[in-house]
A and B are shown apart, each in its own frame.
Chain A
Amino acid sequence: MDSALVYAAIAVAVILTLAISVVALRRRGGAQAIEPAASAALTAETREVETSAIVLELEVPEPAAGRLHRLRTRLARSNSAIGQGLLALLSRDTIDTATWDEIEETLLLADLGVGPTNEIIERLRTALRVEGGARSADAVKEALREALLALVDPGMNRELVTAAPNRPAVVMIVGVNGTGKTTTTGKLARLLVAEGRSVVLGAADTFRAAAAEQLQTWGDRVGAVVVRGPEGGDPAAVAFDAVSAGVRDGADTVVIDTAGRLHTKTGLMDELDKVKRVIEKQSQVDEVLLVLDATTGQNGLVQARVFAESVNVTGIVLTKLDGTARGGIVIAVQRELGVPVKLVGLGEGPDDLAPFDPVEFVDALVAG
């Protein structure tokens, strides 16, 4: 018998029988939850907590305030097509079906997704109908600005919790591979240092080769303490140690960098859940930031949903927005999960991470 066939047969057989028993269990309704013995045994081994020696010269990061404004030109460059393109289309004398199609296309190209695109078009149609035939350029601009603003939803609380009374605030950085978690962690540390906070970084990415070194480099630049573990070690233990170090040193904020993981890897998502649970043995986790790459398409929504289920994401960091990608997927994510974008990454420079300001963001889009 073909061995591949055997595999498949076994898999499907098991799946079938399982599905049956599962549904049967559910139907009987009496399924008591058997909680897995939640004994997240903390590794008691003494782990070497390397404390980075403060390098001779520390860089002084730029203050957070006005960062987005400073980066506005860059933002405009990345988004000009959407804002300017839409404006040009909407300012035409007659807006016919073909024009609406073009508008739709422009929005779709921004990765907004089919649903939000249709919604914004409806909104624009209504707004323009009210205006009637005599549309001034300003009125069109205003209508577009309002439609975009409504999408970004300025009402959400975008404050980053980086301070807590009598203990360090704990921020966890999570996301799929290659979105820029370690870089974001480093930049966030700079942002916090710029605000006069003392920061401890936890290199809980023990999986990817040289991830801890990468974070160490970031930490050294601003004089943040970096807590590391052995490569391939237990990330939860490193995170725990980092928080301990933060408590011991009386730091203001502890930022934990985790390994990138695809949301489809159940085992890895469980690991992330464990990291959070273990941290919570010492301290509440104040922020869980999901790092999303602006180039991500519709899969971003699935990612956000799974991460939110696993670790209760409190905010989104949208990175690589300095390219041509528009990051329209965050709009769907914000709306679907109610998780606001809190930070945006706008370039390779160490200070190119800025707090997200919806009004400023939309103004940059429309003004170009």
Chain B
Amino acid sequence: MFANLSDRLAGTFKGLRGKGRLSEADVDATVLEIRTALLEADVAVPVVRAFTAVVKERALAAAASGALNPAQQIVKIVHEELVAVLGGEARPLRLAKQPPTVIVLAGLQGAGKTTLAGKLALQLRGQGHAPLLVAADLQRPNAVDQLRVMAERAGVAIFAPEPGNGVGDPVQVTKDARAYALQKQHDVVIVDTAGRLAIDAELMQQLREVKAAAQPDDTLFVVDAMIGQDAVRTAEEFMQAVGFDGIVLTKLDGDARGGAALSVKGVTGKPIMFASVGEKLTDFEVFHPDRMASRILDMGDMLTLIEQAERAFDAEQTERMAKKVAKGEDFTLDDFLEQMQAVKKMGSLGKILGMLPGMGDMKAQLDQVDDRDLDRVAAIIQSMTPGERADPKILNGSRRLRIAKGAGTTVTEVNGLVDRFAQAQKMMKQMGKGGGMPGMPGMGGMPGMGGGSKKSKGKSQGSAKAKKGRSGNPAKRADQESGVAMAPASAGPGSMLGMGAGGRVEDAASLELPDELKRLLG
């Protein structure tokens, strides 16, 4: 894994500590790091050049102003600029005054047009429209069938007069579709075209004709978030040859940094309207520029984490948990197990932790987290009786021995689990009392959560806990201390930066989270 921008910058600035202000050469070095970070995120070279020029100018100004922490300032500048470029005017789909509204989907092969057609149709149907899917991809074998299945799943109508597989004329199909939609009273027509390369003159001509026949209100350019340097050229050529009004980014559920978004937006100036984030028809959402900016810079992204959690935890389960927490009921090992399974669904543990802001400098350690350890913990819990799971306090020596045998492990490990669980339980309880989250002060200041008011409280509690966190039991204490030693020095500017990485420098409360987390992790 590549180090994220803030780590890189931290490295650059290490040598500069003690310097009153930054020279131009220092800024140049910084800009070079930003450039590399952007290139590694697949932002296209010309876009990088333009972007770094702007950043450099602002960075010089920041350096000249003698800001206290120039590194933080620069990360903030980069993030702001990214959001500015990515954002712009977000707008909903343009609906024709005189139905039907026609939407044409265009893009490279494998960008996800057919799937997107289904998703878009489902969303429009949910908004009370009567969409019609038009199978104008007559090139790829069985694309028509695929669209038909999509239409079925989305519960919308389809217009597919031609069998496809190279048979039929997409232009004619599009023309007929308009008439068909008028006749059948469909108010939105979504035309799924065949994937094509921008250099294929013949197919581009065909696309132009399809577009002319469709007279679309919106032409959407569908682009894969994983695309590399070619994004710019493809977008430019589609723009020139056919023209489009908006961009849809697909496969954002992967871990591609998605620099393509910046490239395409930067070159064409068209708004990124939607993001496609999964294989289900409902995995479709409006594009969020600020999250994309964090993602391109590979910064911890709490919001994405929360979203993934929302997806992994089913609604009923969360409801139950929320009630439990609110009532101050005990968090049982069964709940713990359930949560753990859900966490497993979210992906690898290392990656999830990596999404927390400020974890950047722990990457090496995170990479070592073995997900099979989750299975081991699960095995311990599964070796307990329901009674024991509900109330771990009844676990005496012989019970623990039995569990250890059942799980194929040692009593020490069972003890460890029970101890840690007790801590978690305490945490959940305090949370239920409305006291914020002791030991996890960062939570209060989480952006976009409406929890800003808890900042100060969280902070004070956090530092209090850090002090009393030492155990009276010598063995345990040694354990804890070794743990602290294992974690990299966390109080330095590195973690300050890591937090700045979230682009929320002003949010002082979140500063506590990484430290605290590291201590616990150790």
Contact = CB atoms under 8 A, between A and B. Distances in A.
B168 interface: no
A176 B254 contact: yes
B230 A10 contact: no
Q: Which of B41, B228, B234, B343: most chain A CB closer than 10 A?
A: B228
B343 A14 contact: yes
B443 A111 contact: no
Given A11-B306, A302-B255, A1 B344 contact: no
B226 A176 contact: yes
B83 to A, nearest CB: 21
A3 B5 CA distance: 32
Given A209-B145, A296-B226, A8 B41 contact: no
Contact of B112 (A31, A109, A178): A178
A323 interface: yes
Chain B interface helix/strand/loop/mixed: helix
A28 B255 contact: no
A298 to B, nearest CB: 5
B204 to A, nearest CB: 12
B42 A298 contact: yes
Nearest to A292: B226
B408 interface: yes
Nearest to A104: B45
A18 B375 contact: no
B283 to A, nearest CB: 11
Contacts of B377: 18, 21-22, 25
B112 A323 contact: no
Given A209-B146, A210-B145, A295-B234, A21 B420 contact: yes
A325 B340 contact: no
Q: Which of A6, A10, A208: most chain B CB closer than 10 A?
A: A10
Contacts of B305: 8, 11
Contact of A34 (B254, B376, B431): B376
A82 to B, nearest CB: 11
B133 to A, nearest CB: 12
B369 A297 contact: no
B142 A262 contact: no
Chain A interface helix/strand/loop/mixed: helix
A136 interface: no
Interface in A79-124: 105, 108-111, 113-114
Interface residues of B, number: 115
Contact of B424 (A3, A17, A262): A17
B320 to A, nearest CB: 11
Nearest to A24: B416
Given A18-B374, A109-B45, A262 B482 contact: no
Interface in B460-484: 479, 482-483
B522 A23 contact: yes
B110 A293 contact: yes
Interface string B365-383: 0000111111111010000
B391 interface: no
A19 interface: yes
Contacts of B409: 30-32, 34
B349 A18 contact: yes
A312 interface: no
Interface in A1-58: 1-28, 30-34, 36
A324 interface: yes
Interface string A272-309: 00000000000000000000011111111011000000
B353 A19 contact: yes
Contacts of B226: 176, 293, 295-297, 299-300, 303
A329 interface: yes
Contacts of B325: 1, 6, 9-10
Contact of A208 (B139, B146, B336, B370): B146
The 10 closest A-B pairs by CB, nearest first: A297-B228, A178-B110, A209-B149, A297-B42, A210-B145, A299-B256, A325-B230, A17-B424, A210-B146, A11-B309
Given A3-B318, A176-B226, A214-B145, 16 more contacts: A10-B313, A17-B420, A18-B349, A22-B370, A23-B522, A25-B416, A27-B479, A27-B482, A111-B230, A214-B142, A263-B254, A264-B347, A295-B228, A299-B257, A323-B198, A348-B139
29 contacts: A4-B306, A4-B310, A7-B310, A8-B449, A14-B340, A15-B343, A17-B420, A19-B369, A20-B423, A25-B376, A30-B410, A33-B372, A34-B376, A113-B40, A176-B251, A178-B251, A209-B145, A209-B146, A209-B148, A210-B145, A263-B255, A264-B254, A266-B348, A293-B226, A294-B230, A320-B197, A323-B198, A323-B234, A324-B237
